[in-house]
């Protein structure tokens, strides 16, 4: 709990001298700019990652060279080029059994992750998918980067983790669906 999120003293609704506890997903607080900033702090990250993954998926789907088994710029050539320097060569071998299908799976996975993140539908699951994609790319394509921080896939992996933990608690379909279910549940028992 942050110091600014608590009010010390005896007031109505206080527990142990602390009342008005707020934060991400919490209730109460003063409603000032700090509360708003804290509430929406992950929104720029969510938009950036969502748009980036949508773009990456569309880019792969519209690049016929990428979706080929072999040839310049193909998924197959990329996988063969990084196989020996990869941390998980067995994953590369799996992809090389059918590079075109693996390329389509990667592209549609990125699209699903990006769209889920942007609209906030199954937000934690979408972020977890993004983290898995980034982890697999770091362990395969970016693994040989020296020093390690030159490989951008590790940074993407770390960027997904706050969204895995927090989900999409604001401006999302997850929240709208949850509110609707609560209203319907309240109507059932009224």
The separation between the first and the last C-alpha atoms of the chain, rounded to the nearest angstrom, is 35
* Tens-digit pLDDT profile for residues 164-183: 999 988 899 999 998 888 88
- Structural tokens at position 188: 């059932």
Residue that the structure tokens 């609209």 belong to: 119
Segments of the chain with pLDDT less than 70: 1-30, 186-190
Q: What is the pLDDT of residues 19-35, one digit of tens each?
A: 333 444 444 456 788 88
Token pair for residue 126? Answer: 């979408």
Q: What is the pLDDT of residue 151?
A: 82
Please report the pLDDT score of residue 182 as a whole number: 87
Contact 7, 18 (CB under 8 A): yes
Structure tokens at 60: 């792969």
Alpha-carbon torsion 53, 59, 61, 65, what sign? Answer: negative
The two three-digit tokens of residue 64, written as one number: 């016929």
58 within 8 A of 111, measured Cβ to Cβ: yes
Cβ–Cβ under 8 Å, residues 107 and 115: no
The pTM of the full predicted model, rounded to 2 decimals, is 0.76
């Amino acid at each position: 709990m942050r110091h600014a999120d608590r009010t010390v003293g005896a007031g109505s609704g206080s527990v142990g001298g602390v009342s008005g506890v707020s934060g991400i997903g919490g209730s109460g607080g003063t409603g000032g700019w700090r509360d708003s900033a804290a509430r929406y702090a992950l929104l720029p990250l969510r938009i950036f990652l969502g748009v980036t993954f949508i773009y990456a998926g569309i880019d792969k789907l519209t690049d016929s060279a990428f979706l080929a088994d072999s040839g310049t710029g193909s998924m197959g050539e990329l996988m063969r080029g990084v196989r020996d320097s990869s941390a998980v060569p067995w994953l590369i071998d799996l992809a090389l059994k059918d590079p075109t299908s693996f390329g389509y799976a990667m592209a549609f996975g990125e699209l699903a992750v990006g769209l889920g993140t942007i609209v906030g539908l199954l937000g934690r699951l979408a972020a977890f998918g993004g983290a898995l994609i980034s982890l697999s790319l770091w362990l395969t394509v970016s693994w040989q980067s020296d020093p390690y921080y030159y490989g951008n896939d590790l940074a993407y992996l770390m960027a997904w983790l706050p969204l895995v933990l927090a989900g999409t608690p604001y401006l999302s379909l997850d929240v709208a669906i949850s509110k609707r279910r609560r209203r319907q549940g309240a109507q059932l028992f009224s």
